[in-house]
Structure 1
């Protein structure tokens, strides 16, 4: 079989590509199905509107936090290990939701799946870009078709389960295991590529210089703002934390970042 630099055969690349595709499709399906079942959860567990909002919220902010955190370490930890971690989060979250007894079970299950979603998103793009270094645009465009595909297929399957058989929400949550286990199976026996940056010997510090203090501030101000809300702190506590951390980051990297980030 044809090989590329790094020793990955065409068969390995194909399997890993479809693993990434299935992983993102699973992530999209989670969003579609959660939107369908939140009303069922409210009725069965007596959720208030605030609790519904908190469950929907925890489906988002850990997703973003995981993307940021894992993107910074994935090429050092290894893409394969990250994807296995994502699979564990996905499967365990589904089990927690299926066994849910109250609001906190739903919150914990949604938190876990959100982390898994973020890890998959952080890993899939660099894996595909590293495997298809000379044709990135084409393959990344195909990869990103997995998001609408997952939304449509997951949403349609959820509607069919409810309308066709009158099955409760647990069937719709349970069906999410199909794309989750699929990407896990597709990874078996395949070695993930080394990122171009690592292969080229570019240091972590040089990479972080591209983000700079401004770039990190824009990420942290939203994340810390949510942390402040969860901890019952005033909104400006998150802003102060973001300023301090991004300032230290800029000092360490000797990079203020790109001012254009502030207006994009």
Structure 2
């Protein structure tokens, strides 16, 4: 376990700034988790496919990544306090745009709603990205001798937010009987989405009147150009590749995990509660990262975590019972817990002259990977295998529930995924659709999107009894295959971490470097693969 000299803070208000950063990351976690819980509502309300939903969630993470990278280049020059004020404002703007989606849908249809949700999530992520660009180097500066330990504590705010958002989604979700009867209507998703503003207000209050130190490198007089130059090495590029894989497997998977496990257990509520459980486990484990790395080193922790991540995803993809889902999710949670903050710590420990730039580049690349590749790719995999399963086993049903316009992802072939709105109508046998029609009639209004969906249901309703089972089976098959294929990512990570461990062992073992080390300042060798 770390000794007292390891945990001496570099500023008298270090703990207050640490917990303010914790609340900022918690706000991001709440927004991310609530969004995961309302994806089904978005699919049913606006008719999105899984690929479109993945693009919306991915857009948020993409904005997160871009802003971390850009902001980290100017963080010390602008000042951490001013940046956090900007993040506070951006979080409120994002809420306004996101909540405008239903009005946009009425005025401009599905595409208009998509734009509101996409850009609302993007601006939300911009605010998160500004926070991340500040709180990571800030924590590394405040606790220079215990970076891994305190960065893990800082990032315990993420699973704490997932727990709060997941519980809120569970209590506010609709309750549906086995025959499709709606026992309790879902709380409006707009109310659920607004919950993230509570921790936003809290972190804003905690930062009022506080003094912020500059990063470790900036305080030592290292310029932004020197920070950038210090990370232009093969080792740092290798770490960037690894962190891109971390972003894919952790955040990309988290965008979908509760939905997929809900399908496996045939109960969306159980999927949400399993997500809450694994997030609670992550929250607790991140407080004990310090003692663990003192025993097996940061790279050893990352290697073990990757193996557990691959095993957990494989088990989840093949689970057939509630018990197996819990066991598999536990293994997966233990695997992903330490990956993100420990990777940031490794980058900061090996490249202290990189300051906010080094840690920002790593965080940004991880988010970009999750947003541009992870979220959309996992959504595409679900669409691909679900549509393939339904087409192979019940082609007439597939024709009824496939979207009209095919969509692809990157270089992968275009496919006609399943229409989320149609699948939702099938799930409750058109009860919610009928309620919407009654409400429109009572108000003397018409809605083109409702009319189109209602007309489709009139033609599909006679086949509903024979369609329900194959559609459910196809959705489950798509989710299972997506998880099994994603397990390949942490498998590759484990191999790369093992190479790093062997490389460092060849030069005397892994060790943290501090900015005042004579070896660093005189240009000594920092580790394997460095120029």
TM-score (norm. length: structure 1): 0.74
**Alpha carbons 1:29, 1:153 under 8 Å: kept:** yes
Matches within 5 A, 1:160-239: 160-162=171-173, 166-212=186-232
Alignment correspondent of 1:43: 44
**Alpha carbons 2:59, 2:118 under 8 Å: kept:** yes
Matches within 5 A, 1:57-68: 57-68=58-69
Alignment correspondent of 1:133: 144
**Alpha carbons 1:13, 1:131 under 8 Å: kept:** yes
Work out whether 1:120 is the aligned partner of 2:140.
Answer: no
Work out whether 1:105 is the aligned partner of 2:129.
Answer: no
How far apart are residue 259 of structure 1 and its match?
8.6
Greater mean deviation of Cα atoms: 18-27 or 70-79 = 70-79
How far apart are residue 134 of structure 1 and its match?
4.4
CA distance in 1, matches of 2:152, 2:222: 26
How far apart are residue 24 of structure 1 and its match?
0.7
How far apart are residue 95 of structure 1 and its match?
1.9
CA distance in 1, matches of 2:528, 2:67: 25
Q: Which has the larger radius of gyration?
A: 2
Moved over 4 A (4+): 213-226, 258-261
CA distance in 2, matches of 1:113, 1:190: 24
How far apart are residue 177 of structure 1 and its match?
0.7
CA distance in 2, matches of 1:47, 1:60: 19
Alignment correspondent of 1:31: 32
CA distance in 2, matches of 1:149, 1:165: 27
Judged with a 3 Å threshold, the aligned counterparts in structure 2 of structure 1 residues 97 and 210 are, in CA distance, closer, same or farther, namely same
**Alpha carbons 1:62, 1:111 under 8 Å: kept:** yes
Deviations 1:180-231 (A, max 9, x none): 11111111111211212111111222211232176579689996995xxxxx
Unaligned runs of 5+ in 1: 227-233, 236-257
CA distance in 2, matches of 1:50, 1:14: 42
**Alpha carbons 1:161, 1:167 under 8 Å: kept:** yes
Deviations 1:107-139 (A, max 9, x none): 110110111122222211111222233444443
3-state SS in 2 of match to 1:212: coil
CA distance in 1, matches of 2:162, 2:68: 19
3-state SS in 2 of match to 1:181: helix
How far apart are residue 70 of structure 1 and its match?
1.6
Alignment correspondent of 2:53: 52
How far apart are residue 166 of structure 1 and its match?
3.4
Deviations 1:15-68 (A, max 9, x none): 322110001111122221111112211222233444323212202212121222
CA distance in 2, matches of 1:110, 1:142: 26
CA distance in 2, matches of 1:136, 1:57: 29
3-state SS in 2 of match to 1:59: helix
CA distance in 2, matches of 1:4, 1:129: 10
Alignment correspondent of 2:329: none
CA distance in 2, matches of 1:183, 1:94: 17
| RMSD between aligned residues | 3.4
How far apart are residue 13 of structure 1 and its match?
2.7
3-state SS in 1 of match to 2:173: helix
**Alpha carbons 1:161, 1:171 under 8 Å: kept:** no
How far apart are residue 106 of structure 1 and its match?
0.8
CA distance in 2, matches of 1:129, 1:35: 30
3-state SS in 1 of match to 2:64: helix
Number of aligned positions between the proteins: 230
**Alpha carbons 1:24, 1:146 under 8 Å: kept:** yes
3-state SS in 1 of match to 2:23: helix
**Alpha carbons 2:28, 2:196 under 8 Å: kept:** no
Greater mean deviation of Cα atoms: 173-182 or 127-136 = 127-136
CA distance in 2, matches of 1:31, 1:181: 17
**Alpha carbons 2:60, 2:121 under 8 Å: kept:** yes
**Alpha carbons 2:38, 2:169 under 8 Å: kept:** no
CA distance in 2, matches of 1:259, 1:58: 35
